[in-house]
Structure 1
């Protein structure tokens, strides 16, 4: 099916438009925003969308939803293929008002493919209007994937997560799985007591420091797999002494073993 030609006179009636891309690993789209909502669906590779309040990762058969006017950047961890849908906000009310990662159902994947094939959706066409209605219905009912890493909002807590990341990057070997960060040292460096640090971190992110760190490291492991590394290397990158503990933790957090994301099973 060829993409339909549209003129300037058609623009007020266009409710959805689409674009597709193949990008190399390591490529980035710098911070920007759109007047329309955006759904970025990944069919190959791995992508992370980042805003001021968090980061959302999408492996194959998953997507990231970005509401209109939200500033965001995109990083492609591995060579990736994606399709982006842009949805006119005023034409489709009651869609999610926050960024999220979503599982792409077979129905939504087919709908995305159809819109990509015709290029745009014109509400004057009954069939095309039905496509827009079905897509909106799917977006309101899809399950949210646990690929969100919330960012703290205050300067002190953002400094704390930088220090946690530095401790993880500089650890010398792994005597045991996920050795604990030195929270007393981190609290002192950000000018807070340990209990105050823990309370503020939980209030700003919705997670304890341990939960946040574990989730961050699991996502690093996912990125390592997307780059083509074996599970053993991904486990080490995620802070686990061996693959079995990493796979078990990954499955507990994400509901599936890590390798299945890239096998399309």
Structure 2
């Protein structure tokens, strides 16, 4: 059902998802901002999957279909923002949430619904939106290929990133898969696999696991090789990234 004019400008929702999968509700006229207060969630759309660890958030524009999956419990704090609000992003993007934005976001979820006709609500919405627009994107996107065989390979590797590329059997040669991944994701097959492994390991780190355990979960033989790959993908060491 589409949004009524009498509805508020911002709605909030707080939930802790158990391990599993769920389809995010789609309601025309609303953007979604999903924040991971604890735990790691993977949110997938038709073109990509975003691994969202603690203190990151994902902006999903109006009516974009998405599913959420998590291997352990994840505390999600969601804001639904009216698409009538001006100058909001029209593409899905992951963001690194600053301390100020975290407090504003949690307060907005707690005190929602918010209405621009109320001065206090309007001030909160304005400051939050201005801050969100200034935050940098977080490098948490795993682009998904659309070629059917490449998409099958991507699903296999996302389910178990520790597999070697030689273990993937989808009825296509490695050369065919290389071409499809390069054309449709902008990454080589090996580069895509490395990113999938690193993003997969965030769940272990966020649950308090050691770097050694995270390296094993990502299929790396040594912690040093894992840390080097992590820094190449996300720009920081594992512990610093989640601090």
Q: TM-score, normalised by structure 2?
A: 0.86
Distance 1:170 1:256, change over 3 A: closer
CA contact (8 A) 1:45 1:79 kept: yes
CA contact (8 A) 1:152 1:158 kept: yes
Asked if residue 207 in structure 1 is aligned to residue 187 in structure 2, the reply is: yes
- 5+ residue gaps, structure 2: none
- 5+ residue gaps, structure 1: 1-9, 172-180
1:42-57 correspondence to structure 2 within 5 Å: 42-57=36-51
Cα deviations by residue, 1:135-180 (Å, 9 ceiling, x for unpaired): 2222222111111111111213213334656895555xxxxxxxxx
In structure 1, how many angstroms separate the alpha carbons of the residues matched to 2:68 and 2:62? 15
Of the three residues 55, 70, 78, the one matched with 1:76 is 70
Cα drift, residue 124 of structure 1:
0.8
In structure 1, how many angstroms separate the alpha carbons of the residues matched to 2:97 and 2:161? 33
Question: 1:247 maps to what in 2?
Answer: 227
Cα drift, residue 57 of structure 1:
1.2
CA contact (8 A) 1:45 1:78 kept: yes
Cα drift, residue 224 of structure 1:
2.7
Cα drift, residue 182 of structure 1:
3.5
- Larger-gyration structure (1/2): 1
Of the three residues 127, 151, 157, the one matched with 2:144 is 151
Of the three residues 12, 23, 41, the one matched with 2:17 is 23
Distance 1:261 1:20, change over 3 A: farther
Cα deviations by residue, 1:19-78 (Å, 9 ceiling, x for unpaired): 112233x13323542321000111111111111111111111111111111111112333
CA contact (8 A) 1:60 1:261 kept: no
1:28-43 correspondence to structure 2 within 5 Å: 28-30=21-23, 32-35=25-28, 36-43=30-37
Question: 2:126 maps to what in 1?
Answer: 133
CA contact (8 A) 1:77 1:227 kept: no
CA contact (8 A) 1:95 1:139 kept: no
CA contact (8 A) 2:162 2:218 kept: no
Aligned-pair RMSD on alpha carbons?
A: 2.6
In structure 2, how many angstroms separate the alpha carbons of the residues matched to 1:231 and 1:137? 36
CA contact (8 A) 1:41 1:62 kept: yes
Q: Which runs of 4+ in 1 moved over 4 A?
A: 162-171
Cα drift, residue 221 of structure 1:
1.6
State the secondary structure of the residue aligned to 1:224: helix
